[in-house]
Amino acid sequence: MFDLSLVEESRYRPFEVVSPAFVADEVAGPVGGPVSGRELHRSDHSPAAPFAAVELGSVAGEVRAGLATVDGDHLLLVRDPERGQVRIEVRTGGETHELAAVETDLADGSRLSFVLCENQVTVLASASADEPWEAVLTDREGLLEHLDLRDPATLASYTYAWGGPGELREVRAGLFGMTGLRDPHLVQHADGSPYVRDGLVYLTATCAGAGFFRQAHWGVFTLDLAQPRELTQVGQLFFRRDGLLLGDHAGQVVLLDDGTWLVATSSWGDFGPQGVHVRHTTTTADVLHGVHVLETEPTPLPTRVSAWDPGLTRVDGRWFVSFVESPSQDPFDFHPALAAARPGAAWDDGLERVGAAEDLHQCEGPVLVELEGRHWLLASDGDDRHYPVFDLTMRRVGRLDASYPTNIPHPQLVPLPDGGHLMVSFDGTGFGGDVLGYGGHGDVVLFRCR
């Protein structure tokens, strides 16, 4: 019988405008005035996907930051003290359009950031380096009337840009980090054992963006088992499908026996009326480190409804695939399900339905774990606020004994060398308030075995 109790050990808020490991440009000193007759300094670097940011450490006067082309097209935040506002503007085909503006008394010396997540542009502001970032302005629908940065050729023509005629300091530009983290999932070997390198456990997690599900993307992180207090980002994963660059997320990475990486994810990157489905690819590239843009294909799961949160483990020579089934996304209705391949076959060969907890309606985050020689499927039930546990026939056998934070925290167990366990999870603490709405949530919450 499943028997495990955990208590909350710590929590913290992961928040990075430009991800520290993925800085493309950094300027420490003052930047101001036109350069070679131009107001904008254009970087030599273009983001690999439309998840990018430019941080301005201190501003004075009128300043601009964002993305620009060699021909003068641009997408920028503009601080305009003469008009007492900050605005977002786009220039295409020789015409400049104001997408959104907000009145502000932001003082000289304040910080500003341009953030692009998918096709949503957000302006962040902070009174000083000691004050937290706040979202002050955002736009998506207006931008789509002029520009779609999910198009690879379009995005490739834009590079990071910043400039005056005012003065700014401490510029950082690069791939966007996160407003929070959620959906942690261990990177595993085929048998379910965690992938560990130099004492570090690797996990994937959804990097919450400045906006809803389409504004999030996927990252790879390490956790130091000796001092498991914070996750460190080491990889950025993006996806190209249907001719677009997207931030699909919520999945798992598995190292197969032949040394290739199996990457399974969920199609949240273009979430809409078409619903969500699971996709996958295999690659020999080291997807745990650096930036990768991957091509994927649909996964042949035995379901006719939307699906997400795939997880894979081989048990006694047979692959099991856990996932979420969702018969409706308006309103959301979802529950854990389990499939299995033919014994001895590849992970996706002849996947058949084992069962599903169809009596649950707000239950996701299924995780396949091994405890005391047996394998179980753990999930998270937002209605009853606990973690139900199933065996590999999808028979409910109990629940995980641990406190239940807000939102629908996933119960990712991490085995420790001493035989104990950590649980890496998250809560619903948001970011962006009324400006951004739902989607920027995710304090990381760590639990430890009693």
H or E segment at 315? strand 306-315
Instruction: Evaluate if pTM is beyond 0.85.
Output: yes
Domain boundaries, the chain: 17-177, 179-449
Spell out the per-residue pLDDT of the chain, length 450, in tens.
688 999 999 999 999 999 999 999 999 877 765 443 357 999 999 999 999 999 999 999 999 999 999 999 999 999 999 999 999 999 999 999 999 999 998 999 999 999 999 999 999 999 998 999 999 999 999 999 999 999 999 999 999 999 989 999 899 999 999 999 999 999 999 999 999 999 899 999 999 999 999 999 999 999 999 888 889 999 999 999 999 999 999 999 999 999 999 999 999 999 999 999 999 999 999 999 999 999 999 999 999 999 999 999 999 999 999 999 999 999 999 999 999 999 999 999 999 999 999 999 999 999 999 998 999 999 999 999 999 999 999 999 999 999 999 999 999 999 998 889 999 999 999 999 999 999 999 999 999 997
Report how far Cα 276 is from the mean position of its chain's Cα atoms: 16
146: left (phi over 0), alpha (psi -120 to 50) or beta: alpha
Domain 17-177 is found in CATH 2.60.120.200? yes
C-beta separation of 154 from 148 below 8 A: yes
Burial of 268 (0-12, 13-18, 19+ CB in 10 A): buried
Residues 105, 108, 113, 114, CA torsion sign: positive
Domain 179-449 - what CATH class?
mainly beta
